[in-house]
Every structure is written in C-alpha cells, then in structure tokens.
Chains A and B, each alone.
Chain A
C-alpha cells in the first residue's frame, strides 16, 4: 500500500518536522477582529499574522472562535469590527469568491464532493469551469509537481477519504493560492496518510505558500507549524513557537489550566464473554454503504475493546447492526450474554441492556429541536420507568436529565434547552451520560470524542473506564489512535468491511495499528498472540 510505504520509523511525525523556511514578510495581518453572535462574543479583538511561506497553527478548543476567525478571513462572515491587510494592503473580504481572487483557498473539514461524479468533474464544478482536456492536463501538472497522485477519471465514491482530501487540495492548488487554509485536515486520516499530508504541506510552504493549519491535535502542531496563535473563549491568549512548547504546556494554554489527569487503566482481567459477533456478513444496501464480511469479535465483562479504522470502512453499518437499527440475517450473528439477538429490534436489545452511541450527535443520537428532557426520554424509556399509567412523565425525564447534567458537568441553559443549542462537546457528554445512567451491560460507542474538546473528552473517557470497571463490556469504535491505545484492552481495525484480529493494546505500536487500519496483517507471531487472546474469550 502506498500510504504504508512512506512510513520510515516510529517517530515519523517528528522526523519530518521543520522542513520549510520561516517566512519573514507578513502575508496577512488580521487586527482586532471582533464578531458577535446573539449572546456570544465569538471573536473579541483577535489579532492574527501569517508570514509568507510559513505554516501557522490556529489552536483552540471547540467554541474558542477558530472557525469564526477563519470564516472572516475566507469572506464567509463579515466582522463587526477590525481590519485585514493582505500583502500590506487594507482589504475588505466580502465573499469567498473575493477571497479566492485575492489568493486565499480553503480545504474544509467536511468535503463537498459529489460521490457519483469523477474527480475531473468534481474539480470542474468546484472551480466553475468546463471539464475538458485543458483542465485534465492542469490537474496532472499540479499532481506531479506536489506529489499528489490523482486519477482524474475515477468516480469519487470509489476513493478513500485520504484521496478525497487530495482532490480538495488539488482543487485549491489549481487556483494558485498564496494562502491555504486547512480545517482539521487530519481528523479523517490514518497515521500513514497524515505523514503524506505533512510532506505535501512542507513542500507547499517551501514553494512560498503560507498555510493556516487549524487543529486541536497538539502533537501535530508541534511537529508541523512554525508559529501558533492560541484562542480561548473568543480571545487570543497567546502566540507561541510550538516547537518550544510541550504538548502539556500547549494544552494548558489552550484550556487555561492543566487537563485533569486521565484515569489510567490498570491491567484488566476480562470476565466471561458478555457480547459477541459471530460470522456476521451484511451486504451493502447501496453504493454508499460498505458490506461487512465475516465479522467476529468477543467482548468480556469489564473489558474495553477498541475498533480502529478510518471512517467509511463499515463503522456505521457495524454499529447499526449491533444496536438493532439494522437486523442481521440470522439471530445467531449477534449474541448478548450468549442469547442470540441478531433479529431483535433496537428497543428489545436496549431492554436487555445493550446500549449504543452513534457517531452523529445531532439527528441520530439526539433530536436537535427537542429539549434535553425529551432527548433523555428518547432512549432511556426502554430501561427507566419514565412513564406513569402509560403516559410520559415529564417530571421523571426531567429529574434524569438534571442528574446527567450534574454528573457529567454539561454546560447548558437547564434541562429544557434544545439539544441543538449545546456545543458538540457538551452534547456528547450529555448523550454518553444518558446511556451510562441507564446502566448498560454492553455499551457500543462510536467516535465518542470526535471534535470534542480535551476537557469533555477526559470526562467521557473516565465515564467509559468506570463503566467497564463496574462490569460492563465496552466496544469503542474510534479513529483516534491515542484514545484507543490509552483506554482499550484489546484493539483490532476495520478496513473495507473486514475486521482484523485483535491484539492486546500494550503490545501494539501506533504504526502497527496504522497497518491494521490499512488492511495489512501483522506478522505471524503477533497474530498468534492475538489469536490466543481471542481464544481465552471463546
């Protein structure tokens, strides 16, 4: 695999650090940018300077004002006050079109690509030009120059997330920008793809392009960026050289205090198997889905088992089949405490004690325009007496909602607040709290800390560890390697709908998990170890 071949040594990230020259002349200077939303001051007199040819980080928790500042720079938002100078001249950026004209390009966190169209057609659409041979040769040119291989005639749905990101980058580069903004670009990539991306970014910087890199992954920023502007609560709190900082000191700056120490998991002796998937095959319903092939796994009492993998490799399908939103073809494929439940409804599985948290918070795990009280009732009515004489008891749901808000430190305007009014991290704390207070015997949770700030992530991780310590079986599906390595007892990976063998996490390196995520097999000895470990459970 091409992604894997780029991997040189365990410290691949840091060895690739600092390739480019630090720019001297400021390309863009944002001064005293202020932007208010009703009730929130999203940016409070923020300053940001990016030098030509430098990779500059914008660092901050969710809600710190990063995206507001970037949207102002990209012409998506008009600031209430403040000025922007570009190449030494005062400018007013009224629209993204104008930003592009100036030479600002942006790669968004969520791609805007049409799955059924080809790479060439997508790029043409994005640029508002015709998909002709001229464009094809320009794409080939840019691909070759920056080492971003692309086949212009492939349909997008056949491509991995890493390649899709490459399309977005090439699309931006075709505009020959002076500043490239990248919004959380690595959140969807494998470690190998991240290494590739960093190499590309360094090369771009070397050629004189400035890059604004938005992320909350501190290690990445430390190895990649020459400067970092740190935002907290809408204000700029610091301007640092990341290299001179430790991950802990960056985190402290970002959060305004030390992160509460994570609860270290002591060695777990897994109990009897509580949850198992046996020879599960599930054909895809349409071209957007991934078929699951011969999935086998066992989770014991008190155990946290992790499934690594890049999004779109069957995680959603697997979670839906476990939760009961999709039914397996045979009852025996899914087993709860040795009872086959593969054909039982989601409600029936919940009543047994099999709870789940899907990746998508708004619209899947919670109903956006319902209150937290109603959102408690949504899943908790299966396991908690929230009805009286058949009628919904508002008071009981409210009491439970208040419990969750208190125990999980959810920041909100009370239990009557709409789910959509909560920030991502707080809503996730609320959802995880809702499931955990139902005392599940098996909890399956997908991407629990995706886009969540470090404080909320720590709360969620502690809650999962406590749940397992109290005898539940936890299955954690995640793209975040640190999370998996730190909290899981065993780890496997999902790639193209196939699940690898599971290995004790203490014996795995991040690079080995990366190989599993790419669908590679680890060498024979380790595989046997993994198999022996599986054997203990079945």
Chain B
C-alpha cells in the first residue's frame, strides 16, 4: 500500500527546483506524445522548443509575448499573496491602453520627449482607476473583488469597442474601427533591430527585481504577505487592512495599465478593438505557475510565451493541431502540481497490517 505522508519540513531548495523538474518532465512526456503520434521526435522537439527561439526575430517575439505576462504576473502575485483576488487585470490593461492612446492621439504629431512618459503616466492612472472600483467596493461595502474586477473587464472591452468605433476612430481610416497609427514620438523604442522587442521587456525585467525586493524586504510587502496568510495577525501588528487592499489593487491596476500601453505603443502601434490575446487572464496562470514569486513569474512568463510560439510553429511545420499548445500548458501545470505534492509529502510504502 502506498500513501502520502506529510513531510516535517518541506525542502526549500526543491521548492525552487520544482518548476524546472516539472518543465523537464513535460518535455519528456511531450516527446513520448509526439512519438505516439508518429511524428519524428527530434523534429517535433526542434519545431516546438528550438525553432521558435532559434532566430533573433523569434527570441524577440518571445520577449514581446512574455513582457506583459511577466509584468502583470508579478503585480498579481503581490496581490494574491495578500489574498486580494484581482481577476480583472485584462480590463485594467484595456483601460491603460485607452488612456495612454488618448494622450498619444491628443498629442498627435507633437514631437517631444515627454509624449511617451505622459502616455505611460496616463495608462498607469487608467489602470488604477479601473482597479479603484473593486477596491472602493471591497473596503466600503465588503463586496467581493473577484466578481467586480472580473465583470469590469467586460465593461472595459465594450468601452474600447465604443471608443475605436466612435470618438477615437481614425478620421482618415475609411470608417474602420481603429485609431490613427501612433507617430514615432508615441511609440516605444525597439531594443533590437530586426525584432519587435520593445522597451517594455526591460520594464518587465525591472519589475521582477522591484517586485522581489518589495515583497521580501519592505514593510509594505511584508504587511501584504502577513495579511494574506493571517489577517488577524496583520491587524495585531498594526497593519491597516483596508489600505492593504487598496495597495494590492493599485499595484495590479497600475502595472496592467502600463502593460496595456506597451502593447498599443509597441507591437500594435495603434488602438484596435482587440489589443490583447487575454494577457490579463493568462497572467493569473503565470502568477501561480511562478509560485507567486517574482523570479518564478519571470520563468513562468517565458515558458507560457514559448508554449504559444511553439504551438504555432508545430502547426506550421508539422501540421499538428494548435491544440498542442493547450496540451503542453496542461501537462506543465499537472507536473508542477505533482512535484508540489512531492515537496510537501513523501511517499511511504506501508505493509497493511491489522491493528489487532
């Protein structure tokens, strides 16, 4: 008989290694899957994991996809640690994009250094304003922020549709629901010629470091962590819980808003009816895959971005269905959870023995 026995002290090292091990097993399982499908294993491996990032352009794409996931993932991790469940990062991202675009369009053809900072500032305010609604409702009326933040996402999507079809539509755009293309002073500098990698990737890396220091070394980060696991202890230690809810939601809103701006001012270059393939929602998975730790989120963001690229690549070169992306993401999550279990529990083999 095999059963799980709780370990006295889970290994901290294995805690950090678990995602790596899970990734390794996922790749192995994936290869077995390819072999069973009759696809040459090495080709499949190459197509899925190597080809997408073997060119400079591919690496750039990885960064482009990973940047918003990492940015929002870090911010959500901070909130989730405090048990503030901001599910509406997608809506905050859209509001950030709208606010930033509004500045870009208002300053159309103003060629000055301050255009981009002004857009960033506006996008942060935009994201925060959208997150302020759940924060206010939660702290004032104790309304569950999961519901309010999620529902506001759909409001944001509709608001975006309205704006690109109306007030923010390109006057010379033949009535297509799109804004003008942003001019140069309102677009993000490219980091690398020949790729779409933009300055947002650097911001994402910076946020990983800032988030890490914030969570582990600052009083507010500590307060958020304590509030998440032991709210009464947080009250006892003198941390104001209402303020912590506001802080968690504002961090999420500001970051998601900025990530939204980076999409419209980076790879897209204008405001469209659809500006995000669900980055705000995917970032929730990234946050948990990364163990709500900024460094973990960095890797989780890259892995999730690669699984998108790999799925597309496998579809093109091997005629595999795009669903392969979902299969890989599912396996990764499964193996990660499995390794997590083994970190907290050991397997003991036990002879069934009657007690009498």
Hey, which bits of chain A sit against chain B, CB under 8 A?
A: 38-39, 78-79, 82-84, 90-94, 323-325, 345-350, 356, 358, 360, 363-370, 374, 377-379, 381-382, 387, 390-392, 413, 421
A325 touches B213 (CB 8 A): no
A378 touches B226 (CB 8 A): yes
B356 touches A364 (CB 8 A): no
B218 touches A391 (CB 8 A): yes
Answer yes or no: B235 CB below 8 A from chain A CBs.
yes
B236 touches A345 (CB 8 A): no
Question: Shortest CB–CB separation between residue B78 and chain A, in angstroms?
Answer: 16
Question: Shortest CB–CB separation between residue B209 and chain A, in angstroms?
Answer: 13
A350-B218 Cα distance, complex, nearest whole Å = 19
What residues of chain A lie closer than 8 Å to B229, measured between beta carbons? Answer: 367-370
Interface-located stretch among B2-10, B30-38, B311-319: B2-10
A350-B229 Cα distance, complex, nearest whole Å = 22
Given contacts A364-B233, A365-B233, A369-B229, 8 further A-B contacts (CB under 8 A): A38-B6, A83-B356, A93-B355, A324-B238, A367-B230, A378-B233, A392-B216, A413-B9
Question: Shortest CB–CB separation between residue A31 and chain B, in angstroms?
Answer: 11
Answer yes or no: B28 CB below 8 A from chain A CBs.
no
What residues of chain A lie closer than 8 Å to B356, measured between beta carbons? Answer: 83-84, 90-92
What residues of chain B lie closer than 8 Å to A84, measured between beta carbons? Answer: 355-356
Using a CB-CB cutoff of 8 Å, which residues 192-234 of chain B contact chain A? 213, 216-219, 222, 225-226, 229-230, 232-233
A349-B236 Cα distance, complex, nearest whole Å = 11
B218 touches A379 (CB 8 A): no
CB-nearest residue of chain B to A82: B355
11 residue pairs A–B, Cβ–Cβ below 8 Å: A79-B355, A83-B356, A93-B355, A364-B232, A367-B229, A368-B230, A369-B229, A370-B226, A391-B218, A392-B216, A392-B222
A83 touches B7 (CB 8 A): no
Hey, which bits of chain B sit against chain A, CB under 8 A?
A: 5-9, 213, 216-219, 222, 225-226, 229-230, 232-233, 235-240, 346, 354-356
What residues of chain A lie closer than 8 Å to B354, measured between beta carbons? Answer: 92
A364 touches B219 (CB 8 A): no
What residues of chain A lie closer than 8 Å to B238, measured between beta carbons? Answer: 324, 345-350, 379, 382
B233 touches A363 (CB 8 A): yes
B217 touches A363 (CB 8 A): no
A356-B230 Cα distance, complex, nearest whole Å = 17
A-B contact count (CB 8 A): 85
CB-nearest residue of chain B to A378: B237
The 7 closest A-B pairs by CB, nearest first: A347-B238, A346-B238, A92-B355, A391-B217, A364-B232, A367-B230, A38-B8
A391 touches B213 (CB 8 A): yes
What residues of chain B lie closer than 8 Å to A369, measured between beta carbons? Answer: 229
CB-nearest residue of chain A to B213: A391
Question: Shortest CB–CB separation between residue A403 and chain B, in angstroms?
Answer: 19
A39-B5 Cα distance, complex, nearest whole Å = 12
A381 touches B236 (CB 8 A): no
What residues of chain B lie closer than 8 Å to A370, measured between beta carbons? Answer: 225-226, 229
B230 touches A364 (CB 8 A): yes
With known contacts A38-B6, A369-B229, A346–B236 Cβ distance under 8 A: yes
What residues of chain A lie closer than 8 Å to B239, measured between beta carbons? Answer: 347
CB-nearest residue of chain B to A379: B237
> Which of these, A90, A91, A358, A377, contacts B236 with CB under 8 Å?
A358
B222 touches A39 (CB 8 A): no
What residues of chain B lie closer than 8 Å to A360, measured between beta carbons? Answer: 232
CB-nearest residue of chain B to A90: B356
CB-nearest residue of chain A to B10: A418
What residues of chain A lie closer than 8 Å to B226, measured between beta carbons? Answer: 367, 370, 378
A39-B213 Cα distance, complex, nearest whole Å = 35
A392 touches B219 (CB 8 A): yes
Question: Shortest CB–CB separation between residue B83 and chain A, in angstroms?
Answer: 13
What residues of chain B lie closer than 8 Å to A382, measured between beta carbons? Answer: 238
A39-B236 Cα distance, complex, nearest whole Å = 33
A84-B355 Cα distance, complex, nearest whole Å = 8
B218 touches A390 (CB 8 A): yes
A325 touches B236 (CB 8 A): yes
A387 touches B219 (CB 8 A): yes
Question: Shortest CB–CB separation between residue B233 and chain A, in angstroms?
Answer: 5
What residues of chain B lie closer than 8 Å to A358, measured between beta carbons? Answer: 236
What residues of chain B lie closer than 8 Å to A392, measured between beta carbons? Answer: 216-219, 222
A366 touches B219 (CB 8 A): no
Question: Shortest CB–CB separation between residue B356 and chain A, in angstroms?
Answer: 5
B232 touches A346 (CB 8 A): no
CB-nearest residue of chain B to A377: B222
Chain A CB within 10 A, most for which of B5, B7, B355:
B355
Question: Shortest CB–CB separation between residue B53 and chain A, in angstroms?
Answer: 36
Question: Shortest CB–CB separation between residue B348 and chain A, in angstroms?
Answer: 9
Question: Shortest CB–CB separation between residue A426 and chain B, in angstroms?
Answer: 16
CB-nearest residue of chain B to A37: B8
What residues of chain A lie closer than 8 Å to B240, measured between beta carbons? Answer: 345
Chain A CB within 10 A, most for which of B213, B222, B225, B236:
B236
What residues of chain A lie closer than 8 Å to B5, measured between beta carbons? Answer: 38
> Which of these, B7, B8, B222, B235, contacts A325 with CB under 8 Å?
B235
Question: Shortest CB–CB separation between residue A92 and chain B, in angstroms?
Answer: 4
A368-B240 Cα distance, complex, nearest whole Å = 20
Question: Shortest CB–CB separation between residue A77 and chain B, in angstroms?
Answer: 10
What residues of chain A lie closer than 8 Å to B217, measured between beta carbons? Answer: 391-392
What residues of chain B lie closer than 8 Å to A345, measured between beta carbons? Answer: 238, 240
